[in-house]
Amino acid sequence: MSVRVRFAPSPTGPLHIGGVRTALYNYLFAKKHGGKFLLRIEDTDQERYVEGAENYIIESLKWLNLNYDEGVDIGGKFAPYRQSERKEIYKKYVQQLIDKGAAYYAFDTPEELEQMRQRLENEHSTVRHYCHLTRMQMKNSYTLSQQQVKELIDSGIPYVVRFNIPPNRKIQLYDIIRGNISFDSNTLDDKVLFKSDGLPTYHLANIVDDHLMEITHVIRGEEWLPSLPLHALLYEAFGWTPPQFAHLPLILKPNGKGKLSKRDGDQMGFPVFPLEWKDPQTGEISRGYREWGYLPQAVVNMLALLGWNPGTEQEIFNINELAQLFDLEKVQKAGAKFDPEKTKWFNQQHLKKVDSKLLVENFKNQYKSLINKDDTTVKKIIELIRDRAVFENDLWENAKYFFVAPQNYAEKALKKYWKGNIDERMKEIVDFFENQSNFESSALEKVTIEWIQNKGENLGKILNTVRVLIVGDAVGPHLFNIIEILGKEETLNRIKNGILKLGKPTTE
């Protein structure tokens, strides 16, 4: 059977980057094995449903280029892929479990359940849940006659269907990431599988859907590891072959203490969602990676290596390279610490790889009212400064002096360089530049350095002062590359204007 995996989020709010990584690992695993990647929306918990969350999930995956082969908005041979549209399917299968004695009706009210928990606590019992030790004291199919059960259901009394966890079972399971795991069935409770509103809980719905959709591997977060024995028992009760399981490690706070949360991002100034999210109840807006200016390929690269490593020194990958190398058995068991600064580094590295034509086009569209140079020159500028930018929006900050002459000069740079007789030296360099016909970078650099050295002046002092006058600060790429792009006339105008503006320097 060919590989089939699914990403099955609940539309209860924005998609956390932990969920994005789960989707990514499913995608990479499917592509590595030539299989199929599905998007299924698990919306059976209607009380927690949040308007707009499903569309947010879809848009997030599309922005990240995690294109699924079957799903809620594109269909597929196992449609529908939204669980609320599959209600009738689950009724059939829960009835199968009831008929086999693997599940039972329970009519306990919330108050009666709380009374049970309180009683067990008062008795200092090691058991605090609904199970084989407590079910005989509750209101369910085991303590009521068939006729009583039927009358209660017919009268519309709320009920749930619980799974009959077999006692005294040692459940031996295998996880691709964690190896062999053992569970004691006596520690498990009789989980609710179905509610009287006609909707199943996650436990039943995901088992039935994974079976019917022929899912071969379930790759999900480690928070679902405690549910693994229940799910294995459900497969056993149905007589179905279970898929292989892999439970991914948590993404941890930057200090490694606990699961990464939105609060961590708010406090430390980094996003934890792929896209901007506006809370429909509070109106609170949380910016996402897209709005912060991150490239989707950088986010994918960063998340792929957050808990998995191909075993090489290489760190920068495109999504096809990741798919070729991805191996679930190399996913670590321990949680992976999130590093905000390393995330910026990934974006910087991927920005260097973006086609210059695309950067030029985006740059011109964003700053068209300020750009006064032709496309060829703009391309030269972008290529000159792009390595200094972390985000695409940083390009203007690093390039603006090519288009707009400085109106002010960095105080720190002036304090360092605008002193002594530097104004006289700048007047001399104006005369020198005016006598040069070749303003090509390497040619001008050669003769200028020779001129400064013949004058017996400090090379760094003279050239950095020139930089301050034409750029506004002692920063930027190679000075003579800047001068070549600005041209002779503009360079001279800026130096002359700077001398006039700054006036007589301070004494040494």
* DSSP state string for 320-343: HHHHHH--GGGB-SS-EE--HHHH
Percent of residues, the chain, with pLDDT higher than 90: 94
Residue 74 lies in a domain: no
Cα dihedral sign, 419-425-427-430: negative
Residue 78 lies in a domain: no
Q: Please tell me the predicted confidence (pLDDT) of residue 508.
A: 59
User: Which residue type is seen at 295?
Assistant: L
Q: Please tell me the predicted confidence (pLDDT) of residue 372.
A: 85
Least confident of 36-40, 124-128, 145-149: 124-128
3-class state of residue 200 by DSSP: strand
What distance in Å separates the CA atoms of residue 148 and residue 371, rounded to the nearest whole number? 81
**How many domains, in total, are found in the chain?**
4
**Are residues 57 and 3 located together in one domain of the fold?**
yes
**Are residues 261 and 242 located together in one domain of the fold?**
no
pLDDT > 80? residue 334 = yes
Residues annotated as catalytic are 262
Q: Please tell me the predicted confidence (pLDDT) of residue 125.
A: 87
Q: Please tell me the predicted confidence (pLDDT) of residue 47.
A: 85
Residue 294 lies in a domain: yes
pLDDT digits over 1-16, tens only? 699 999 999 999 999 9
pLDDT digits over 100-120, tens only? 999 999 999 999 999 999 999
**Are residues 207 and 286 located together in one domain of the fold?**
no
Residue 485 structural domain:
405-508
Residue 495 lies in a domain: yes
Residue 80 lies in a domain: no
Average pLDDT score, the chain: 95
Residue 286 lies in a domain: yes
Task: Specify the CATH number for the domain of residue 185.
Answer: 3.90.800.10
3-class state of residue 170 by DSSP: strand
pLDDT digits over 6-55, tens only? 999 999 999 999 999 999 999 999 999 999 999 999 998 888 899 999 99
Task: Specify the CATH number for the domain of residue 482.
Answer: 1.10.10.350
pLDDT > 70? residue 88 = yes
Percent of residues, the chain, with pLDDT higher than 70: 99
Q: Please tell me the predicted confidence (pLDDT) of residue 345.
A: 98
Tell whether omega for the bond before 80 is within 30 degrees of 0, i.e. cis.
yes
pLDDT digits over 171-181, tens only? 999 999 999 99
The domain boundary residue, chosen from 345, 376, 396: 396
pLDDT > 70? residue 188 = yes
**Are residues 164 and 264 located together in one domain of the fold?**
no
pLDDT digits over 279-326, tens only? 998 999 999 999 999 999 999 999 999 999 999 999 999 999 999 999
What distance in Å separates the CA atoms of residue 501 and residue 256, rounded to the nearest whole number? 52
Q: Please tell me the predicted confidence (pLDDT) of residue 368.
A: 87
* Residues ≥6 apart with Cβ < 8 Å to 350: 295, 297, 298, 301, 316
Task: Specify the CATH number for the domain of residue 14.
Answer: 3.40.50.620
The CB-side HSE value for 233 (13 A sphere, CA atoms) comes to 25
Residue 337 lies in a domain: yes
Q: Is 458 left (phi over 0), alpha (psi -120 to 50) or beta?
A: beta
pLDDT band at 327 (very low <50, low <70, confident <90, very high): very high
- With residue 243 as reference, give the H or E element that holds it: none
**Are residues 202 and 120 located together in one domain of the fold?**
yes
pLDDT digits over 441-460, tens only? 999 999 999 999 999 999 99
**Are residues 57 and 144 located together in one domain of the fold?**
no
Residue 219: both structure tokens together? 């790759």
Helices (H) and strands (E) in the chain, counts: 20, 14
**Are residues 330 and 420 located together in one domain of the fold?**
no
What distance in Å separates the CA atoms of residue 105 and residue 289, rounded to the nearest whole number? 46
**Are residues 274 and 314 located together in one domain of the fold?**
yes
Residues 179 and 163: beta-carbon distance below 8 Å: no
Q: Are strands 160-163 and 217-221 parallel, antiparallel or unpaired?
A: unpaired
**pTM score of the predicted model:** 0.91
pLDDT > 90? residue 198 = no
Residue 239 lies in a domain: yes
Residues 488 and 481: beta-carbon distance below 8 Å: no
pLDDT digits over 371-380, tens only? 889 999 999 9
**Are residues 243 and 386 located together in one domain of the fold?**
no
Instruction: Name the nearest CA neighbour of 498 among 393, 399, 423.
Output: 423
Q: Please tell me the predicted confidence (pLDDT) of residue 325.
A: 97
Q: Residue 21: phi, psi to the nearest 5?
A: -65, -40
Q: Please tell me the predicted confidence (pLDDT) of residue 507.
A: 64
pLDDT band at 126 (very low <50, low <70, confident <90, very high): confident
